[in-house]
Amino acid sequence: MAHKFEIKKNKADEYVAYFKYNGETIFWTEGYKSKASAMNAIESIKKNGPDAPTEDNS
C-alpha cells in the first residue's frame, strides 16, 4: 500500500496521526493526550477530507 495513516508519540508524549505516501510524511495532526483522540482525528479526515475544497492562494 502506497499510503497509510500512522500514530506515533511525539517528544511531549502526545499521540500524533501522520499521513504517509510512499514512506514520506505528507501531513500530521496536532498532538493528542489519548490515542483515541488521534484515531478520531483520522476518522474525521477520512470522512470530511474527500469533500474539502481546494483553495489556490498563489
Asked whether residue 54 is domain-assigned, the answer is: no
pTM for this model (two decimals)? 0.84
CATH of the domain at 11: 3.30.160.160
pLDDT tens digit sequence for 2-36: 899 999 999 999 999 999 999 999 999 999 999 99
Asked whether residue 44 is domain-assigned, the answer is: yes
Asked whether residue 30 is domain-assigned, the answer is: yes
Asked if pLDDT for residue 50 goes beyond 90, the answer is no
Identify any residues that bridge with 18 across adjacent strands, giving them in sequence order: 6, 28
Asked whether residue 56 is domain-assigned, the answer is: no
Secondary structure of the chain as H, E, C letters: CCEEEEEEECCCCCEEEEEEECCEEEEECCCECCHHHHHHHHHHHHHHHHHCCCCCCC
Asked whether residue 42 is domain-assigned, the answer is: yes
Say how many domains are in the chain.
1
